[in-house]
Chain A
Amino acid sequence: MPTTPAATPHRPPASALGAGAARNDRTRRLRTWYLVHKWTSLVCTLFLLIVCLTGLPLVFSDEIDALLSDDAPFATVPADAPRVCLGTLAADALRRHPGEIVTSIYVQDDAPAVWVWLAPSWKSFANDEGSRHYVKFDAHTGHLVKASGAPGQQARSFMDVMLSLHTDLFAGLPGELFLGAMALCFVAALVSGVVLYAPFMRHLPFGTVRAERAPRLRWLDLHNLLGIATLAWMGVVGVTGAINELSAPLFGLWMRTDVTALLEPWQGLPPPAIDQLVSPQVAFDTVARALPGMRVTGVVYPGSDQGSAHHYVLWTRGTTALTSRLFSPVLVDARTGALTRVIGMPWYLRALEISRPLHFGDYGGLPLKGMWALLDLISIAVLGSGLYLWIARRNANGARLAQLARAHDAPARAPRGVA
């Protein structure tokens, strides 16, 4: 945050005509923008520092996960090797956890892995995230690759801690909404910062850093340079960060409106018993045949509060950088395995889906991730220099106050001094 324009040597020049009134007006406007910049920045700086620091490892989470993984290696097989039936894998997972239910199956498309998710019951699935756990299989051999701890026993990994600090500060939905509000504060700070940039740079070529002058001036120049150069990136990451924090309410809204309306015809009908379900593989094949351009990434079992009591919900996505981020859910009748319908996603969930890659930076290879990390470091420098400028200015104000106080006391002693 820069010092007030009035206090700098590069105050905006008054316009030629009507100088006095126009200058006062402009000074007042800039002072308001300065206050907006100062307070929106101060409110969010601490949280943004946390978000920037935890974001640094999160950018590379794929690489770090792969590095730390102690999974059994996948079998080497020809490219067109047959895959094990999803129903067989689900049954295998249930044999390892008798009495539990399968809640969903995740079919990874960048590795030959199938994750079978389980919970003691749908009730505990809905109420206690810690009760959800998985068994991960090799898609070609059906061999166990990895099993998460039993319900409630999963250890929190380093990356889990980073993710929670980054997204909800261990406070669940209230934490997410709070950090979303901080992201909006950050965007307001960016906007006010842009307004303040012009009066400071009216006489300085882009990139000027007055290194030989007072440190405060040098940090001000650096703050302005780094902030304005990375403005577009910080704006995109700030706005998409705020949108991402709304994912739980937005999905909830969609479930309550569109999905509820869609499932209206099945309202009140008796849901199928577990032994009446067709194999998840049948549902998978139905969708793969019906939507040849899409990849099926997951099968949600009937009974989930995130699905339907009467259908498997299959999540599909496209294959390009953009369309692989856009999911389309498909309903398949759980008793017959016939396709019920493809569900169109509302605009606000599409906006959320596009916000994800633009926030994570994981859509353009390792070079893009590297640049994400560098831009993140530059953001930390902008935050740090802003904080420094605020403290330095407070100290300067303190010194000025002390000076004023001395000047106020002075007249009493002045006669002696003068004499």
Chain B
Amino acid sequence: MTRGSLRFIWGVPALLAAATTFGLAAALLGTGAWRWAAWGALALPIAACARHGLRRQRRDPAS
């Protein structure tokens, strides 16, 4: 994946936005398994924040 490409910049954010939208809709429209799917999907943006936000980074990946 080339740095600076659309996919490089927006790939993960778009995925997280899609997961969030799916999760919000699934809990509203479905029951049972859909609810579990909704919880799983909505956990993704939170997990991304926790994984990258709480990690102690030793190396600057840009350098």
Contact = CB atoms under 8 A, between A and B. Distances in A.
Interface of A: 10, 13, 197-198, 201-213, 222, 225-226, 228-233, 236, 320-322, 354, 357-358, 363-365, 367-368, 371, 374-375, 378, 381
A82 B42 CA distance: 42
A349 B56 CA distance: 48
Contacts of A213: 60
What secondary structure prevails in chain B residues at the interface with A?
Answer: helix
Contacts of A228: 13, 16
Contacts of B38: 364, 368
Contact of B52 (A207, A232, A367): A207
Contacts of A206: 11-13, 52
B13 A209 contact: no
Interface residues on B, range: 35 or more
Which of the listed residues A204, A222, A321, A364 has the most CB atoms from chain B within 10 Å of its own CB? A364
A320 B13 CA distance: 32
B35 A365 contact: yes
A43 B18 CA distance: 29
Nearest to A209: B57
A107 B12 CA distance: 47
A203 B20 contact: no
A231 B46 CA distance: 11
Contact of A203 (B35, B53, B55, B62): B62
Given A364-B38, A368-B39, A321 B3 contact: no
Given A13-B4, A206-B13, A231-B13, A363 B28 contact: yes
A198 B10 CA distance: 8
B60 A368 contact: no
B13 A375 contact: no
A211 B57 CA distance: 6
Nearest first, the 5 closest Cβ-Cβ pairs linking A and B are A364-B27, A207-B52, A232-B20, A206-B12, A232-B17
Contact of A357 (B11, B28, B60): B28
B33 interface: no
Given A206-B11, A364-B38, A212 B62 contact: no
A202 B4 contact: yes
Given A229-B45, A232-B16, A322 B53 contact: no
Contact of A209 (B8, B9, B17, B53): B53
Contact of B58 (A207, A212, A365): A212
Interface string B23-45: 01001111100010011001101
